[in-house]
Amino acid sequence: MNKVTSGIVILLLVLVGGYFVDDGYKAKVDRLLHRDAPAATAASSNSSDWSNNKSDAPAKGVPLQGGASLANILSSGAVRVSVQNPSKPFYYHDNRGTAKGFNVDFMKALFAQSEFGNREIKLDTEHEVDAYEKVPKQLLQGNAVDIAIDGLTFNDDDLKGVVYTIPYVRDFGYALIAQNNSSITSLDAANGKTIGILKGDPDAMAFAKHTFPKSRLVELSDKADENGKWIVGYIDARKVDAVMYDYPFAVAELEGTDMQFVSPKIAGSNIEYKIGVRAADKDLREALNSAIRKVTASEAYTDMLKTYFMSSKVAAVRSAKGNETVYLVVRGDTLSTIAQAHLGDKMRYPEIQSRNNLANPNFISVGQKLVIPVR
């Protein structure tokens, strides 16, 4: 009996000693005894949608392993977002320091969908960076953020470990910008002139070379001047005659200036903006895709597009000439249905869009007059 008792005592000592020495063994025992660490607590009820916590350290209770972002969003009631500030009109702060922009309104609608628990999800965008390419990189720097959003046009293989949703904004393109009184009043008139292109954007450079084969193309930094502009400064200083740039981002840039969109969407260009997530967060990506489909199909979404991206700086539409006709938009019309009725093919809607200087096919309203090109 003494030997048996001694054996039991030794076994207990081994088991207890292993609990404090071996972390893996300790974790298994804790799970058996239901001693797991508590899940992340819900956001404080008195916190604002946009907290002022600048720390990049993972929030208390946030899982450190990949693939847990959706679970953390649902359990904490908050989503942490990587953004570039400023990137008006997608995201910026007003004079009171309140976050504004298309992305703000869109995310509020997005995270109100059933995929995210039919509850209020707080938005925490105080994970700001100063450069576009840094936005998705924050996903790979610990677990400080859950998603990256800033009109991102990267592909799944551009940054290992980061993948993207379906587009949440689409059908925009590259715009051509010049002074109101410039001799550049069309794409043809720009060919042969000096055209500015955003520095470090190989896709834009390739498109510009194809579109303006006779032009001298100059790469430009998008660092703002003292007035918060960059396109205006280069054109006013005569460093370039015109600039080719993503239409949505240029909308805010042209406000209050003597510049205009000669063409708000150059034919053949198409820019789609997506939301970045970690490759391991497959369930989050699926939830986002499902919610994006719902939001982008709503009338409220079209109103968002018009609120933030319609510009008064678009060059006037040339009057109908020759065999062209004029059509008055009625309720229920889309560019596709108009193209089907008047051009015999709904896929010819880009021709109507281009002829009427529309930056996006959603930018039509009841009572608006559209010039219909020759069938």
Consecutive H or E run containing 210: helix 202-211
- Proportion of the chain above pLDDT 70, given as a percent: 82
Q: Please tell me the predicted confidence (pLDDT) of residue 224.
A: 81
Q: pLDDT band for position 175 (50/70/90)?
A: very high
Give the residue-averaged pLDDT of 75-91: 96
Does residue 329 have a pLDDT over 80?
A: yes
Q: Please tell me the predicted confidence (pLDDT) of residue 247.
A: 97
Q: pLDDT band for position 97 (50/70/90)?
A: very high
Query: What average pLDDT does the structure give for the chain?
Result: 86
Would you tell me which CATH number, out of the four given (3.40.50.970, 3.30.70.3290, 3.10.350.10, 3.50.50.60), belongs to the domain 325-372?
3.10.350.10
d(CA 101, CA 85): 11
Omega cis (within 30) before 86 = yes
Q: pLDDT band for position 11 (50/70/90)?
A: very low
Instruction: Using the Cα atoms of residue 308, residue 166, residue 156 and residue 78 in order, give the sign of their dihedral.
Output: positive
Q: Please tell me the predicted confidence (pLDDT) of residue 45.
A: 31
Give the residue-averaged pLDDT of 168-191: 97
Q: Among 18-22, 113-117, 279-283, 365-369, which is the least confidently predicted range? A: 18-22
Does residue 278 have a pLDDT over 50?
A: yes
In 3D, which of 244, 242, 209 has the Cα closest to residue 234? Answer: 242
According to CATH, where is 3.10.350.10 located in the chain? Answer: 325-372
Does residue 100 have a pLDDT over 60?
A: yes
Distances (CA, A) of 43 to 20, 97, 142, 275, 309: 33, 21, 20, 23, 32
d(CA 165, CA 15): 48
Q: pLDDT band for position 228 (50/70/90)?
A: confident
Q: Please tell me the predicted confidence (pLDDT) of residue 168.
A: 98
Quick one: 174-269 is in which CATH superfamily?
Periplasmic binding protein-like II (3.40.190.10)
Q: Please tell me the predicted confidence (pLDDT) of residue 222.
A: 86
- Residues 18-64 pLDDT 10s: 544 444 444 444 433 333 333 333 333 333 333 333 333 334 334 33
Q: Please tell me the predicted confidence (pLDDT) of residue 31.
A: 38
Does residue 111 have a pLDDT over 70?
A: yes
The letter for the amino acid at 63 is P
More confident residue, 10 or 226: 226
Cβ atoms within 10 Å of 178's Cβ, excluding its own: 25
Give the residue-averaged pLDDT of 153-176: 96
- Residues 124-152 pLDDT 10s: 999 999 988 999 999 999 999 999 999 99
According to CATH, where is 3.40.190.10 located in the chain? Answer: 69-170+272-309, 174-269
Give the residue-averaged pLDDT of 107-117: 97
d(CA 142, CA 135): 14
Q: Please tell me the predicted confidence (pLDDT) of residue 375.
A: 87
d(CA 355, CA 267): 10
Q: Give Cα 307 to chain centroid, integer Å.
A: 16
**What CATH number was assigned to the domain covering residues 69-170+272-309?**
3.40.190.10
Q: Please tell me the predicted confidence (pLDDT) of residue 297.
A: 97
Residues 6+ apart with CB under 8 A from 351: 339, 343, 373
More confident residue, 101 or 4: 101
Q: pLDDT band for position 98 (50/70/90)?
A: very high
pTM of the model: 0.80
In 3D, which of 167, 172, 125 has the Cα closest to residue 144? Answer: 125
Q: Please tell me the predicted confidence (pLDDT) of residue 66.
A: 61
Q: Please tell me the predicted confidence (pLDDT) of residue 44.
A: 31
Burial 156-170, CB ≥16 within 10 A → b, else e = eeebeebbbbebbbe
- Proportion of the chain above pLDDT 90, given as a percent: 77
Q: Please tell me the predicted confidence (pLDDT) of residue 61.
A: 37
